[in-house]
Amino acid sequence: MKTYIKYISLPFLLVFLAFGVHKYYVSITQIEYVEDQASVQIISRVFIDDLENALKKRYDKTLVLKYSNESEQVDYYLERYLKSKLSIKINGKKQLLTFIGKEYDADIAVCYLEIKGVKEIAQLEISNQVLFDMFDDQQNVIRAKIYNKNKSFLLIKENDKALLNFKEKQ
């Protein structure tokens, strides 16, 4: 009977360990077109520890993301990183991303960016490669709200672009 319990318990233990230890690598980026402000507002949420490791690997090994007394270099490197990993084209033209700032919410870094002077969106293409250089299984969720249309995409390393077409406003 004890041997029988061992053989039944072992698979359950392995499944528990596999799922209990496994860490998910995911970011969520929201894109919203605010037509009356001629602005595309972008909010990207990334796990602080993963983002910190990426910034350390790329720029400065001593960098620490923290709630208070944070180095002024953090925003500088964070802006550089995000601008190198996020790319948005509107109507076929690459857009300039303006880094507004960031805040921390529990274990998430919430990063704010904006594209100003957008009069109309017929087509929007986004490439999001955040943390792809760190984790092969990184997934980046994109949620877009443009002309009251909501779309969601899941981007992975092998497919890091999403394209939205808008023939007319709704």
The per-residue pLDDT for 122 is 94
Coil/strand/helix, residue 48:
helix
The per-residue pLDDT for 167 is 67
The per-residue pLDDT for 169 is 53
What count of other Cβ atoms lies within 10 Å of the Cβ of residue 17?
A: 10
* Global pTM value: 0.82
The per-residue pLDDT for 66 is 83
The per-residue pLDDT for 19 is 45
Q: Cβ distance 99 to 76 under 8 Å?
A: no
Q: Which residues of the chain have pLDDT under 70?
A: 1-22, 167-170
